[in-house]
């Protein structure tokens, strides 16, 4: 258990705080020496694990997040500050070696050791050095109830990284020479994105900024410069004041949506320009999927477009339809709601993100104080990990449909998974995407490739056999080929053989050889809706014939399509 701070260490902590610029995790920022000492300590405690509020009677209400619940401790006016620390210590399971103080507003890496406070174990036995504290901690955790920065960190100006004030917002964050510079930078950012009486959340800003960096870097690595080039400059302060969802406003403060040639032509109803700019249909920032004639590619719309899509504002904080499909129909909406929690039913402002489910809304992210930031950061992580990779959204038109594909191609958490199996040298990879606005329920993608000499030199798909569980019962579907295709797998890729006539005419007449293609064969279709809260699953087998179906060179063999889940995820894209 964390030892309680006695008078001497506490005095050292306060002396350290008053010698530096301390940023408030709240509405306004002031120099530490301009505030009461206990207010300075509260500013440091106000982090993700600790929530505080200054009461009108000059007392302090401190909330401690503990296992998902918030425990509130009311500190009376002028009560010794040890009670604050004592209350926190009783709720936190922290090692003795992590005794320290938190300065959270600028979100910096590192720890303030007791040596920095000029306190040694000999001077005070219940204050031990931080010799075993992790050096890469970024957020307070159960093993570091009180962590403190070794150096200040703050947003950078896009045009001048060394500027003391931030006039042009961007996604860059860097180390500062002093707490004074960090304070000025954070304060200038907070002023630019201010909305009514909402407090500034430095932590959410950092989450959003990192998400922007991850997305742009990953797209550049995959030669998808067209999406990066479509990002608009930062929104103006006047436009930002129309967005009441705090972390969404931070995203707009860095890039005010996208400017895509197809979208501009569609709004003008210029059909010739729409044809000339068809490739940008697939350049939506938030990716897309396709199957048969179903095509979705979601773009990040500007604040002006979002306001046009959103219903008239009825309250101070309106829902913002921030993302739309290429055809102009809205796909995602972010809003603000009030939750009442704690023994005194205090109102807490939370964010919501919903997907367009046709006649109703589908929750696209867990409700939280920064729901959009978490939704955005999760998407960015999946793009960075290549779970959402750059590839043709429409496999039959690979040259002009490159974009971010939402069929998972790598594992990135429970909600983002790809299944893989190799049988006789043939690899099958499979994954699914939940479609909240489609009666088909889920779209799935199956990718097939010859990967070793264990497979015949060439082999042709003949039949498929699917076993689909909808959560209550399993149905089996069998048929010839997939979507009218009978690919011939080779050592370099596959041949695109397609059905052109009824099979009663014979295989060699009904199926004609196609072009040779590189890479893996991709098949995309729908599975149907699932029943029950646990969702369903999909698995199957594919029958291949060595050589070609019309000229076999061996006995047919079956390749496993591994089971993958059909389950509504926590995050929808």
Q: Which residues contact 101 (CB under 8 A, 6 or more apart)?
A: 13, 16, 17, 41, 44, 112, 146, 148
Of 193-207, 235-249, 282-296, 399-413, the range with the lowest mean pLDDT is: 193-207
Of 121-125, 292-296, 313-317, the range with the lowest mean pLDDT is: 121-125
Give strand ranges (E) for 58-115.
Answer: 60-66, 69-75
Q: Which residues contact 130 (CB under 8 A, 6 or more apart)?
A: 97, 98, 99, 100, 111, 112, 113, 114
The answer to whether residue 540 scores a pLDDT higher than 90 is: yes
Dihedral sign (CA 225, 228, 229, 230)? positive
The answer to whether residue 110 scores a pLDDT higher than 60 is: no
The answer to whether residue 494 scores a pLDDT higher than 70 is: yes
Which helix (H) or strand (E) segment holds residue 190: the answer is helix 179-192
Which helix (H) or strand (E) segment holds residue 253: the answer is helix 246-254
Of 227-241, 354-368, 545-559, the range with the lowest mean pLDDT is: 354-368
What residues form DSSP beta bridges with 350?
337
Q: Tell me the pTM.
A: 0.76
Query: Phi and psi at residue 322, in whole multiples of 5°?
Result: -90, -10
What residues form DSSP beta bridges with 390?
404
Q: Which tens digit of pLDDT belongs to each residue from 19-52?
A: 443 333 233 333 333 333 333 343 333 333 333 4
Closest CA to 372 of 205, 563, 133: 205
Other CB atoms within a 10 A radius of the CB of residue 203 amount to 18
According to CATH, the topology of domain 60-132 is: Ubiquitin-like (UB roll) (3.10.20)
Query: Phi and psi at residue 172, in whole multiples of 5°?
Result: -85, 140
| Chain-centroid distance, C-alpha 14 | 38
Return left, alpha or beta for 484; rule: phi > 0 is left, psi -120 to 50 is alpha, else beta.
left
Q: How far apart are CA 494 and CA 471, in angstroms?
A: 35
What residues form DSSP beta bridges with 448?
428, 521
Contact between 192 and 169 under an 8 Å Cβ cutoff? The reply is: yes
From residue 28, give the alpha-carbon distance in Å to each of 139, 197, 200: 22, 10, 8
What are the residue boundaries of the structural domains of the chain, listed by start?
A: 60-132, 168-195, 201-385, 407-566
- pLDDT on residue 555: 97
Average pLDDT over residues 397-412: 95
Contact between 509 and 428 under an 8 Å Cβ cutoff? The reply is: no
The answer to whether residue 129 scores a pLDDT higher than 80 is: no
Which helix (H) or strand (E) segment holds residue 473: the answer is none
Q: How far apart are CA 19 and CA 32, in angstroms?
A: 8
Average pLDDT over residues 160-164: 86
Of residues 24 and 215, the one with the higher pLDDT is 215
Angle at 229 between CA 227 and CA 230, to 5 degrees: 65
Average pLDDT over residues 200-206: 85
Q: How far apart are CA 412 and CA 569, in angstroms?
A: 12
For residue 367, name the pLDDT band (cuts at 50, 70, 90).
Answer: very high
What is the second-level CATH architecture of the domain 407-566? Sandwich (2.60)
Q: Taking all residues of the chain, what is their mean pLDDT, rounded to a whole number?
A: 77
Q: How far apart are CA 26 and CA 288, in angstroms?
A: 37
- Would you give the DSSP letter of residue 5? P
Closest CA to 378 of 516, 536, 573: 573
Average pLDDT over residues 554-559: 98
Query: Phi and psi at residue 13, in whole multiples of 5°?
Result: -60, -45
Q: What would the two tokens of residue 69 be?
A: 């619940």
**Beta strands 346-357; 493-495: pairing state:** unpaired
User: To the nearest whole percent, how much of the chain has pLDDT over 70?
Assistant: 70
Average pLDDT over residues 321-332: 95
């Amino acid at each position: 258990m964390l030892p309680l701070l006695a008078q001497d260490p506490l005095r050292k902590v306060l002396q350290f705080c008053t010698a530096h610029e301390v940023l408030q995790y709240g509405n306004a920022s002031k120099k530490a020496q301009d505030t009461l000492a206990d207010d300075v300590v509260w500013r440091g405690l106000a982090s993700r694990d600790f929530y505080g509020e200054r009461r009108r009677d000059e007392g302090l209400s401190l909330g401690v997040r503990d296992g998902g619940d918030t425990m509130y401790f009311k500190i009376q006016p002028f009560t010794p500050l040890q009670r604050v620390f004592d209350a926190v210590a009783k709720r936190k399971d922290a090692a003795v070696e992590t005794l320290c103080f938190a300065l959270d507003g600028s979100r910096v890496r590192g720890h303030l050791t007791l040596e920095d406070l000029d306190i040694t174990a000999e001077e005070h036995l219940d204050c031990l050095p931080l010799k075993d504290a992790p050096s890469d901690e970024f957020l307070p955790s159960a093993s570091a109830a009180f962590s403190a920065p070794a150096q200040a960190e703050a947003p950078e100006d896009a045009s001048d990284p060394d500027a003391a004030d931030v006039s042009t917002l961007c996604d860059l964050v860097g180390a500062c020479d002093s707490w004074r510079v960090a304070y000025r930078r954070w304060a200038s950012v907070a002023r630019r994105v201010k909305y009514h009486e909402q407090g500034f959340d430095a932590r959410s800003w950092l989450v959003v900024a990192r998400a922007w960096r991850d997305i742009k870097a990953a797209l550049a690595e995959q030669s998808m410069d067209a999406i990066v080039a479509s990002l608009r400059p930062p929104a103006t302060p006047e436009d930002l004041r129309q967005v009441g969802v705090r972390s969404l406003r931070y995203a707009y403060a860095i890039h005010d949506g996208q400017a895509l040639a197809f979208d501009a032509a569609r709004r003008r109803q210029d059909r010739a320009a729409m044809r000339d700019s068809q490739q940008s249909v697939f350049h939506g920032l938030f990716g897309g999927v396709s199957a048969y004639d179903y095509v979705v590619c979601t773009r990040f719309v500007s604040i002006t477009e979002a306001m046009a899509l959103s219903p008239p504002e009825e309250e101070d904080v309106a829902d913002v339809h921030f993302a739309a499909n290429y055809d102009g129909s809205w796909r995602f909406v972010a809003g603000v709601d009030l939750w009442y929690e704690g023994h005194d039913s205090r109102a807490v402002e939370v964010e919501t993100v919903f997907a367009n489910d046709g006649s109703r809304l589908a929750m696209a992210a867990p409700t939280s104080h920064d729901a959009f930031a978490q939704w955005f950061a999760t998407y960015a992580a999946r793009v960075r990990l290549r779970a959402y990779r750059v590839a043709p959204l429409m496999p039959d038109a690979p040259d002009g449909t490159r974009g971010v594909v939402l069929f998972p191609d790598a594992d990135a958490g429970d909600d983002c998974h790809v299944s893989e199996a190799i049988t006789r040298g043939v690899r099958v990879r499979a994954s699914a995407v939940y479609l909240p606005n489609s009666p088909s329920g889920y779209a799935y993608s199956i990718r097939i490739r010859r990967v070793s000499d264990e497979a015949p030199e060439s082999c042709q798909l003949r039949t498929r056999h699917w076993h689909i569980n909808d959560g209550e019962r399993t149905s089996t579907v069998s048929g010839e080929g997939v979507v009218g295709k009978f690919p011939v797998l080779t050592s370099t890729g596959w041949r695109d053989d397609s059905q052109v006539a009824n099979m009663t005419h014979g295989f060699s007449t009904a199926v004609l050889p196609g072009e040779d293609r590189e890479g893996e064969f991709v098949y995309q279709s729908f599975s149907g809706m699932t029943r029950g809260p646990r969702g369903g699953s999909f698995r199957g087998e594919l029958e291949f014939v060595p050589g070609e179906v019309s000229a076999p060179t061996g006995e047919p063999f079956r390749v496993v399509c591994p089971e993958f889940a059909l389950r509504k995820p926590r995050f929808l894209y």
